[in-house]
Amino acid sequence: MAEGITRRSEDFAQWYNDVVRRAELADYAPVRGCMAIRPYGYALWENIQRSLDRRFKETGHRNAYFPMFIPYSFIQKEAEHVEGFSPQLAVVTHGGGKKLEEPLVVRPTSEAIIGHFYSKWINSYRDLPLLINQWCNVVRWEMRPRLFLRTTEFLWQEGHTAHATAEEAEEEARRILDIYAEFAEREMAIPVIKGRKSESEKFPGALVSYTIEGMMGDRRALQMGTSHNLGQNFAKAFDIKYLDRENRLQYCWTTSWGVSTRLIGALIMVHGDDNGLILPPRLAPIQVIVVPIYKEEERTKVMEAVERVKGLLGDRVRWEVDDRDEYTAGWKFNEWELRGVPLRIEVGPRDVEAEQATLARRDVPGKEGKWAVPLEGLGEAVEQALGEIQEALFKRALAFREEHTHRPTTWEEFVEAVEDGFALIPWCGDAACEERIQEETKATNRCIPLEQEALPSGARCVHCGKPAVEWALFARAY
């Protein structure tokens, strides 16, 4: 157990906070609910951005930037939208020393302001599809903030697209959901369940909301990304129209989708342990930390070997050498474990003599995760080890989720199931039933999974006993 970090099994929430602070990922701001993302945390975000941005561009999306200030009247144009976001708004009433004629809202999301621009930019079918994404900050007033998971200001990307047909908009919303899921599983090493949100959980103003849901280390669910088919709701509210090939004026079909800095919270909660972070190699800012070990008289020869190690690693991986003299090797081991660096290379006098280096996996503690590698093959060995760590983290997270996912058939079993993790049940689809489940157990409808097995014949809702219409996933959630 690392110094200053509460045991994960003892108090998960406190463990989470301790890790975020001690690993210097983020810090609370003087304004309640806001945070500063420190360089190590931001480097994670940059890797997330780079990786997602490439996927968006490969599928034809381009980045742009829309104004942060939205006239209050714009937010009101879509009825569900204003109802959903009103309680969370930050409002600018004064600018340049004067009271403003109309108060401005700091964007909680940008459908309204982007709808305004799309109605100007889109004229004909030739302008479609319009596929735009933006990376920016948004503000949603937060009464119970948690670093990364729920903050008043956060960073995210929001994609906004306009299409000629309902089918194309639906395809887009699903394409992005697939990108999110592939990203989560391949890069973050977090298995996710793709699903549709229930009516009461969907985005205010959407026709359908899709989601990816992950299981965190405390067995609660986290919504990790959403993709919305907005139908023509926003096109009608903001007058987004195009002339089709037959010269008829038609409303567009739009989508929106986003992931946020919340994903950093997911990385921490899924992979971390009592010693701190464990970062998946593909997103780790530092993939390999090289720690020289020596007594004073051995310094020269060890540092020569370290130079050789640097050359062997080259551009293959993201590595750093911790050659600070003011700290002991043991202290450094703890420090880099806390920061979740996936692989450590130790270079000590015995390694030098044997022309080798010692590798230690962050995800496998003790001797079991430690082995010597001849220097000549170091580059390949390191790359291979990182690949294995990435895979092992995913497998472990998947096994954990499966262990804690249940299919209760009675209400008693359901109550137990959501105490332990996820409950997948035949469900009636009724919003009132959903609300009562939440009241009684604090578990919410996370999604209706896209992968649906056939329901048992005559299946009834585990809560209310009415005929079931589909499988639904319930869990306590962040």
Interface residues toward a second copy, by CB under 8 A:
27, 29-31, 34-39, 41-43, 45-46, 62-71, 74, 86-97, 103-104, 106, 113, 116-117, 120-121, 126, 132, 136-137, 139, 141-143, 152-153, 155, 326
Half-sphere exposure at residue 243, Cβ-oriented, CA atoms within 13 angstroms: 6
Q: Provide, rounded to whole angstroms, the least separation between the CB of residue 269 and a second copy.
A: 21
* Structure tokens given for 339: 């920061």
Cα–Cα distance for residue pair 220/286, rounded to 1 Å: 29
3-state SS assignment for residue 377: helix
Q: Residue 36 or 166: which CB sits closer to a second copy? A: 36
Q: Residue 189 or 317: which CB sits closer to a second copy? A: 317
Q: Residue 36 or 354: which CB sits closer to a second copy? A: 36
Q: Residue 103 or 449: which CB sits closer to a second copy? A: 103
Q: Residue 44 or 385: which CB sits closer to a second copy? A: 44
Q: Provide, rounded to whole angstroms, the least separation between the CB of residue 288 and a second copy.
A: 18
* Structure tokens given for 83: 């109802």
- For residue 129, whether the previous peptide bond is cis, meaning omega lies within 30 degrees of 0, is yes
Q: Which amino acid is at 267?
A: L
Classify the C-alpha dihedral 185-380-365-326 as positive or negative. negative
Q: Provide, rounded to whole angstroms, the least separation between the CB of residue 286 and a second copy.
A: 12
Q: Evaluate whether 135 touches 104 at the Cβ level (below 8 Å).
A: no
Listed as own residue / partner, the contacts of 14-21 with beta carbons closer than 8 Å and 24 or more positions apart are 15/272, 15/274, 16/146, 16/147, 16/265, 16/268, 16/269, 16/272, 17/147, 19/268, 19/272, 19/276, 19/277, 19/338, 20/147, 20/148, 20/268
Cα–Cα distance for residue pair 289/357, rounded to 1 Å: 12
Q: Provide, rounded to whole angstroms, the least separation between the CB of residue 153 and a second copy.
A: 6
Q: Provide, rounded to whole angstroms, the least separation between the CB of residue 202 and a second copy.
A: 22
Q: Provide, rounded to whole angstroms, the least separation between the CB of residue 314 and a second copy.
A: 17
Half-sphere exposure at residue 304, Cβ-oriented, CA atoms within 13 angstroms: 8
Q: Provide, rounded to whole angstroms, the least separation between the CB of residue 340 and a second copy.
A: 17
Q: Residue 115 or 342: which CB sits closer to a second copy? A: 115
Q: Provide, rounded to whole angstroms, the least separation between the CB of residue 108 and a second copy.
A: 11
Q: Residue 136 or 398: which CB sits closer to a second copy? A: 136
Q: Residue 110 or 358: which CB sits closer to a second copy? A: 110
